[in-house]
Amino acid sequence: MHRPLIRVSIVATAILSVANAFMSEAVAADTAKLPPYTSVQQAVRQYFAAQPDYQRRDIISQRDAVAVLADLEKLGWRVADRREILDRVPADGELLVRELRTPAGRKFMRQMDRYPDAYDRLDRLTHMPQGTSTLKRLVAGPDGYKLIEYLTTASGGREMGKMLSDTPRGRGFNRSTDRIYTQRLLMDELNRRYKEAGGVVPADVERREQAEAVW
């Protein structure tokens, strides 16, 4: 009486087994296509090392991210959801990028980029009223970086950030913008996505990468 049900159950189990096996093989194949993580690291470093007048903590732009992703694709890894990454990287024509890539801007940038969240605070400043003139004054002034130092390291700077957060265009002033401003932040994002794609980052490589981390 129950034989038809038993037969259906056996067939369903067989179908599920075949589907699971197929999915496992597909995942294994995708993982096998990934280049070694050290090759990913090398490709990123080589790209930025070839850029004129570039230092590791300098701001990057979407043009840089597009080029890096293209280099990784040549290695065999087409990073998923590329648009999400690019949307988090400052555009080439953005005020922050334009100003920080002037001679005076580079000098200012390399004075302030040693501080944690320096780019986040500077970015938020540019979106405040008179943000453009504020950025230009900081870049032009001999000690413009000291405002960023104050905002990122002093208790008074954090209090100032809280006050700015109460203004319409300053909401969340002390929080991270979650944007990708530097080579280090781009590498962190690639590290995360590499693991999501099934790649394995060797423990010693991970430790070295974390030890070398800069803001």
Question: Do 62 and 19 have their domain in common?
Answer: no
Question: Do 77 and 173 have their domain in common?
Answer: yes
Percent of the chain at pLDDT exceeding 70: 84
For residue 211, pLDDT over 90 is answered with no
pLDDT at 133: 96
Question: Do 53 and 104 have their domain in common?
Answer: yes
Question: Do 46 and 103 have their domain in common?
Answer: yes
What domain count does the chain have?
Answer: 2
pLDDT at 168: 87
Q: Distance between terminal CA atoms of the chain? A: 71
At 9, the pLDDT band (50, 70, 90 cuts) reads low
Question: Do 125 and 197 have their domain in common?
Answer: yes
pLDDT at 27: 39
Question: Do 146 and 169 have their domain in common?
Answer: yes
Rounded distance between C-alpha atoms, residue 100 and residue 74, angstroms: 30
pLDDT at 12: 44
Question: Do 154 and 122 have their domain in common?
Answer: yes
Rounded distance between C-alpha atoms, residue 98 and residue 91, angstroms: 9
Residue 3 lies in domain: 1-33
Question: Do 26 and 65 have their domain in common?
Answer: no
Question: Do 25 and 58 have their domain in common?
Answer: no
Are 109 and 100 spatial neighbours (Cβ–Cβ below 8 Å)?
A: yes
Question: Do 92 and 173 have their domain in common?
Answer: yes
Question: Do 46 and 21 have their domain in common?
Answer: no
Task: Give the pLDDT confidence of 92-101 residue by residue, as tens digits.
Answer: 999 999 999 9
Question: Do 153 and 197 have their domain in common?
Answer: yes
Of 85, 90, 33, 91, the residue nearest 193 (C-alpha): 85
Q: Where are the beta strands (DSSP E) in 44-181?
A: none
Task: Give the pLDDT confidence of 45-79 residue by residue, as tens digits.
Answer: 999 999 999 999 999 999 999 999 999 999 999 99
* Average pLDDT of the residues in 109-113: 97
The whole model's pTM is what? 0.83
pLDDT at 207: 87
pLDDT at 28: 38
Of 179, 140, 177, the residue nearest 61 (C-alpha): 179
